[in-house]
Amino acid sequence: MVKENHFDSIVIGAGMSGGWAAKEFCEQGFTTLLIERGRNVEHLKDYPTTHMRPWEFKHRGDVPAKIRVENPIANSCYAFREDAMHFFVKDAEHPYVQAKPFEWIRGYQVGGKSIMWARQVQRWSQLDFEGPARDGFAVDWPIRYNDLDSWYTYVEKFVGVSGNKDGLDILPDGDFLRPFGNNCVEDYFGEQMKKHYQDRHVIYGRCAHLTESKPIFVAQGRGLCASRNICQRGCPFGGYFNANSTLIPWAMKTGNLTLKTDSVVHSILYDEHQKKAIGVRVIDAHTKTTTEYFAKVIFLNASTLNTNLILLNSKSDRFPNGLGNDSGLLGKYIAFHNYRGVITATHQGHKDRRVDGRKPTSAYLPRFRNVYRQETDFLRGYAAGFGARKKMVYDVDSMGEDLYHNLLNVKESDVWSVNSHMMGETLPKESNRVHLDENLVDPWGIPQLIIDVDYDDNDEKMLQDFFDEFSEMYSKAGFTNIKTTDNQRKPGNDIHEMGGVRMGHDPKTSLLNKWNQLHHCQNVFVTDGACMTSTSTQNPSLTFMALTARAAHYAIAEMKKGNI
């Protein structure tokens, strides 16, 4: 073993959660190896389109047909546009097997998908963590809201979250910066919901954007959000949170971080005599040569499905079915968010009002179904976004010079368009699973992942309930021309896949304990989406980060005691 390949800690995955783990270990003086399978992306330096004007794009922002055809999975993502498609993997270069249709959206680079994410950050509530215990589906979470409350605050203060204090038990308040605010029609809809319902709240959508300057953000080198709404390109101001502008540089400046890019993790190495993991086996993305690195503790944050893949591929005499997999549950109980429901309408009021400028978020309706009691024929519930804007009217019926002048004089409609999309909680089921193909391998000789995940009857009932309830809500608000749409989004397109290495009390029914340690290999921690026992209805990124910070501090304390 080469001495320079030894570290105190190894973190696999340089995205949002892996960045947090690296930051915590480096701040505490631990030498840390951060391994990323993709290329390096440095803040400011590697955002090639961030200052480009619309007319400077060869295809005016559209993805050429040839690229769309060659990348049907990546192309299904809303952010896969000419200005950001370089941050998405090419389908053919990273194959996997779809036992059922599943669109695995990936961004392999330093920063991962934190460069292109939608930046919505909501805390979970006590009700969310109690969900499985209340309805008996899946297993009980080994933690509750109080276990994460202070860690949510810890993360929010570093990330910067714009929001309102709403006083809702279903969506706890956090440490917020000032909000951008909802527009007049979004506020109107909220007023109508208060008038007609006691349990339905239209609030400002909390987002990871800087609206105030504070010493911590100055120290990070970040400026305020300019509301450009082209965040997927990478922000030159650092106005929104990504790992590239905050976590990675913060860890790097300690002098304790070693960043290895273009390094594909093959497996975690387990020592039969020491009865613990001792390191990782890595394949160079270009030369295909293999190197081994060693550490006392390993944090696995490769993103949900890759984390499952690495553990499944980490086989030894002790763990022939994958590291820590005595229960046989590794790769099972995958869940995601159901985004299939969309409802649109028109609003005839507020004709004398308009919206100037942009904001990086919309209104948000927290879950209101099955919160305190089981009231429907489906389990769990859904949250929803809500947005309102005036349409632009284009006169394209003319030709030649008349068409030219008409296009230069675009008019704004006096009618508002409103829309909502659901974010439904799917149930983690044993049949929703991932496993390794016995024959197919990827370009690095690693078994391809078979993804066997689908909707079920609970999802269909929830979708119909969303349509029914929001149609009624829209009608009560006086909206007209109400239209519901099942957009047929495939699982995975939500980009919120979770589970497979779930937390729990009992090693027989879970893989991780309350500190995110593998029950049967306690110097390996999993704190990305793979660790989730259920999905709730909230965007999950804030919870991933809070879990990571909490687990890292626990691991650090155990290392200092000599227990790891």
pLDDT (tens digit, 9 = 90+) per residue, 493-517?
A: 999 999 999 999 999 999 999 999 9
Please, what's the b/e burial string for 27-42 (b: 16 or more CB within 10 A of its CB; e: otherwise)?
A: bbebbbbbbbbbebbe
Three-class secondary structure of residue 386 per DSSP: strand
Average pLDDT value for residue range 179-203: 97
Average pLDDT value for residue range 95-119: 98
pLDDT digits (tens, 9 = 90+) for 206-238: 999 999 999 999 999 999 999 999 999 999 999
Three-class secondary structure of residue 449 per DSSP: strand
| Selection from 197, 141, 183 nearest residue 368 by Cα | 197
What's residue 17's pLDDT?
A: 98
Q: What is the mean pLDDT of the chain?
A: 96
What's residue 405's pLDDT?
A: 81
Are 348 and 355 within 8 A, CB to CB? no
What's residue 401's pLDDT?
A: 87
Which helix H or strand E contains 16, and what residues bound it? Answer: helix 16-27
In the predicted structure, residue 454 carries a pLDDT above the cut 80: yes
- Least confidently predicted of 3-12, 16-25, 157-166: 3-12
In the predicted structure, residue 351 carries a pLDDT above the cut 70: yes
**What are residue 174's phi and psi, to 5 degrees?**
-130, -165
Residue 72: both structure tokens together = 């049907």
Are 241 and 119 within 8 A, CB to CB? yes
Are 418 and 428 within 8 A, CB to CB? no
What's residue 3's pLDDT?
A: 67
Are 29 and 35 within 8 A, CB to CB? no
Give the angle subtended at the CA of 284 by the CAs of 497 and 262, to the nearest 5°: 55
Average pLDDT value for residue range 137-147: 96
pLDDT digits (tens, 9 = 90+) for 506-564: 999 999 999 999 999 999 999 999 999 999 999 999 999 999 999 999 999 999 999 99
Alpha-carbon separation of residue 421 from 365, 384, 487 (angstroms):
10, 5, 10
What's residue 48's pLDDT?
A: 98
Rounded to an integer, what is the distance from CA 58 to the centroid of its chain? 30
pLDDT digits (tens, 9 = 90+) for 318-330: 999 999 999 999 9
- Please report, for the chain, how many H helices and E strands are present, in that order: 12, 20
Average pLDDT value for residue range 176-191: 97
Average pLDDT value for residue range 22-34: 98
Average pLDDT value for residue range 92-119: 98
What's residue 1's pLDDT?
A: 40
Rounded to whole angstroms, the Cα distance separating 235 from 528 reads 24
Rounded to whole angstroms, the Cα distance separating 136 from 58 reads 54
Average pLDDT value for residue range 356-368: 93
Model pTM? Answer: 0.96
Output the CA torsion sign for 439, 445, 446, 449. negative
What's residue 407's pLDDT?
A: 78
Rounded to whole angstroms, the Cα distance separating 484 from 422 reads 11
Collect all residues with Cβ–Cβ distance below 8 Å to 215 and sequence separation of at least 6: none
Average pLDDT value for residue range 97-105: 98
Three-class secondary structure of residue 10 per DSSP: strand
Strands 6-12 and 32-35: parallel
Share of the chain above pLDDT 90, in %: 93
DSSP H helices, 41-165, are 65-70, 72-75, 126-135, 145-159
Give the angle subtended at the CA of 202 by the CAs of 197 and 204, to the nearest 5°: 165
In the predicted structure, residue 81 carries a pLDDT above the cut 50: yes
Rounded to whole angstroms, the Cα distance separating 70 from 67 reads 5
